[in-house]
Amino acid sequence: MQYRQFGKLDFEVSALGFGTMRLPTKDGKIDENEAGGMLHYAIDHGVNYVDTAYSYHGGNSEVFLGRALKGGYRDKVRLATKLPSWLVESSRDFDRYLNEQLKRLQQDYIDFYLLHTLNKKSWAKLCALGILEWAEKAVDDGRVRYLGFSFHDDYPTFKKIVDEFNWSMCLIQYNYMDVENQAGRKGLQYAAAKGLAVAVMEPLLGGKLVDPPQAVQRLWNTAGAGRSPVEWALQWLWNQPEVSVVLSGMSRMEQVKENVAVADCSGINLQTPEELALYDRVRAKYQELIAIPCTKCGYCMPCPQGVDIPRNFSNYNEGIMYNKPDFPRGEYGWWKHALDRGGMDQDIRAAQCIQCGECEEKCPQSISINRWMPVIHHALAENGPYLKKLP
């Protein structure tokens, strides 16, 4: 296993971290025999960072780890979990959730405690409730060793959060397709320059980069290196010195073995200029596959009905780009779920479009937004067909 410096801390972390969001299941529950074998294999082969969260597997991920890390395995790893920020309603919830998590994990302390899925809204709410003062007390009383946050929003919000506390680490979504999405490369480099360790989630974009369309696979084949799409994606991340650890949410032993073997060959600045140029070609090829030529300029916004037009277009396009329609359908359904539970202020789905035409007058790409919105809703909410072009 290769190891990397973990920000400003006196700790070398394994290049590969073990994520527990996608553990194998059996009859709707974590298959603890299989999952335990995977975890122990990873640790026995040098993985020393394990990541979980309050909500993973309906709360059972933490319970599983409490059992699986017995027998000396806890002493070999740094353990990270996360405060469910969307569930916090009062300052009393900070202690309530942390103490519950310690009990689930059967631990006296957490190495890295992260504020989960921070964005503009959740960060403002937590700050108003005194999260930073509480967090410092949790460190002082020994229940938490180091503080961090996971993030899903834009770069300005990321920079603001980084600057407003003396964090030890952050967790961002990052891969060769997300160079400018969310925190992006700018966020990665900014946080690292401030001394934060940067852990990366979604290195395979939730599995979308594992089995690429033929047009993309043909490009990978031109390298003649015999690497799988998984290895190409992971090595791109490990090539960057600002990346501290890459988390993989593995669900089969074969995935653990492959990722451990790939991590053994990882390193900083090992890729050639030709290999780095290939990622640009792959990224461009993916973009060529989209149906709707939206550039996310935002000129069409705001929609009088609250529809997030660029986000709907992007979600729909990804189903075509990666040839995996179930992913955007799940995202579209999650937007409705988030609205119902108070995680969104308004319904941003294409279903809310009334074809008023106001957006089309502003679109520099002359996209037929009125015609696309019902197509998108039909494809994503009702499992209808995807279209390359409008009829």
- Does 321 lie in the same domain as 177? no
Neighbouring CB atoms inside 10 A of 165's CB total 16
**Percentage of the residues of the chain whose pLDDT score is greater than 90:** 93
- Does 127 lie in the same domain as 250? yes
| pLDDT at 337 (0 to 100) | 84
Residue 47 inside a domain? The answer is yes
Phi, psi of 246 (to 5 degrees): -110, 120
| pLDDT at 391 (0 to 100) | 78
Phi, psi of 169 (to 5 degrees): -160, 165
Position 54 pLDDT exceeds 90: yes
Single out the residue of 176, 192, 281 nearest to residue 239, CA to CA: 176
Within 8 A by CB and 6+ apart from 247, the residues are 17, 18, 19, 49, 51, 171, 199, 200, 201, 203
Helix (H, G, I), strand (E, B) or coil at 67: helix
- Does 191 lie in the same domain as 87? yes
Residue 51 inside a domain? The answer is yes
Q: Output the CA–CA distances (angstroms, integers) from residue 90 to 96, 139, 342, in the order listed.
A: 10, 20, 15
User: Could you tell me the residue range of the domain that residue 82 belongs to?
Assistant: 3-279
| pLDDT at 224 (0 to 100) | 83
Residue 289 inside a domain? The answer is no
- Does 91 lie in the same domain as 208? yes
Residue 103 inside a domain? The answer is yes
* CA dist., res. 327 & res. 22, Å (int): 15
Determine the average pLDDT of the residues in 173-200: 96
> What are 11-30's pLDDT values in tens digits?
999 999 999 999 999 999 99
Last residue of a domain, one of 236, 259, 279: 279
Q: In whole numbers, what is the pLDDT of the chain averaged over residues?
A: 95
Position 225 pLDDT exceeds 80: no
Single out the residue of 239, 167, 229 nearest to residue 204, CA to CA: 229
Residue 199 inside a domain? The answer is yes
Position 134 pLDDT exceeds 90: yes
Position 247 pLDDT exceeds 90: yes
Residue 300 inside a domain? The answer is no
Secondary structure (DSSP) of 8-59: TSS-EEESEEEE-SS--EETTEE-HHHHHHHHHHHHHTT--EEE--TTGGGG
The domain total for the chain is: 2
**Stretch (H or E) spanning 356:** none
Single out the residue of 4, 42, 48 nearest to residue 23, CA to CA: 42
Determine the average pLDDT of the residues in 307-334: 93
Position 343 pLDDT exceeds 80: no
Determine the average pLDDT of the residues in 242-257: 96
Phi, psi of 104 (to 5 degrees): -60, -45
Determine the average pLDDT of the residues in 143-154: 96
Q: What is the DSSP letter of 201?
A: E
- Does 269 lie in the same domain as 320? no
pTM of the model: 0.90
Within 8 A by CB and 6+ apart from 316, the residues are 291, 292, 328, 372, 376, 379, 380, 386
Residue 142 inside a domain? The answer is yes
Burial 33-50 (b: 16+ CB within 10 A, else e): ebbbebbbebbebbbbbb
Identity of residue 20: T
* CA dist., res. 124 & res. 83, Å (int): 15
Single out the residue of 137, 131, 135 nearest to residue 91, CA to CA: 131
| pLDDT at 390 (0 to 100) | 87
* CA dist., res. 150 & res. 375, Å (int): 34
- Does 329 lie in the same domain as 258? no
| pLDDT at 389 (0 to 100) | 86
> What are 252-305's pLDDT values in tens digits?
999 999 999 999 999 999 999 999 999 999 999 999 999 999 988 999 999 999
Determine the average pLDDT of the residues in 86-115: 97
CA angle 132, 134, 139 (to 5 degrees): 95
Confidence of residue 340 (pLDDT cuts 50, 70, 90): confident
| pLDDT at 254 (0 to 100) | 97
Q: Specify the pairing of strand 144-151 against strand 110-118.
A: parallel
